């Protein structure tokens, strides 16, 4: 469950950008995956961090480790944080590179907050287009 001392922060249109959580006398910005995106800072600065971070980064490619012999390139389909005692989840699918003619790719349901095995790509990751 999302901790009760986390305060949701939303865009003007109501879209959730993340939370601001206490850290001693300061605050930490937390993204929608449940990961910190700032060091302990002032409340207003935490708001600025979340506004700047946005949510567009969710549409980028991600890597999922532990499901195959090498990391899989995936896309995030759904992020549902814990709410009202219901466990959250993150749904990803193997990246189909936008090919709408391709059969649906395999999906994986991960717990929320995001496990460390869901991560941004690194330079040394294998090219998913090469078998």
Q: Nearest 10 degrees: CA dihedral of 129, 54, 115, 109?
A: -70
pLDDT of residue 130: 67
Q: pLDDT tens, 50-89?
A: 999 999 999 999 999 999 888 999 999 999 998 887 899 9
CB-CB neighbours of 73 under 10 Å: 20
**For the chain, where are the alpha helices, taking DSSP H only?**
43-53
pLDDT at position 105: 85
pLDDT of residue 104: 81
Q: What percent of the chain has pLDDT over 70?
A: 96
Residue-level pLDDT at 51 = 96
Instruction: State if pTM tops 0.75.
Output: yes
User: Are residues 62 and 76 in contact, defined by beta-carbon separation less than 8 angstroms?
Assistant: yes
99: number of Cβ within 10 Å: 9
| CB count in 10 Å sphere of residue 41 | 17
Domain ranges of the chain: 7-57, 60-119
pLDDT digits (tens, 9 = 90+) for 8-61: 999 999 999 999 999 999 999 999 999 999 999 999 999 999 999 999 999 999
| Helix and strand counts by DSSP (H, E) for the chain | 1, 8
Among 128, 115, 34, CA closest to 73? 128
Tokens matching residue 61 = 């490619």
- Tokens found for residue 44: 């207003």
């Amino acid at each position: 469950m999302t901790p009760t001392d986390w305060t949701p922060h939303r865009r003007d249109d109501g879209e959730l950008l993340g939370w601001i959580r206490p850290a001693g006398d300061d605050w930490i910005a937390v993204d929608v995956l449940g990961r910190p995106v700032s060091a302990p800072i002032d409340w207003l600065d935490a708001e600025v961090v979340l506004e700047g971070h946005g949510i567009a980064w969710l549409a980028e490619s991600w890597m999922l480790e532990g499901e195959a012999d090498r990391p899989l390139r995936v896309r995030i389909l759904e992020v549902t944080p814990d709410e009202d005692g219901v466990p959250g989840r993150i749904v990803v699918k193997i990246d189909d590179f936008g090919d709408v003619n391709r059969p649906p790719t395999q999906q994986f349901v991960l717990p929320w907050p995001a496990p460390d095995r869901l991560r941004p790509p690194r330079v040394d990751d294998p090219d998913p287009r090469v078998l």
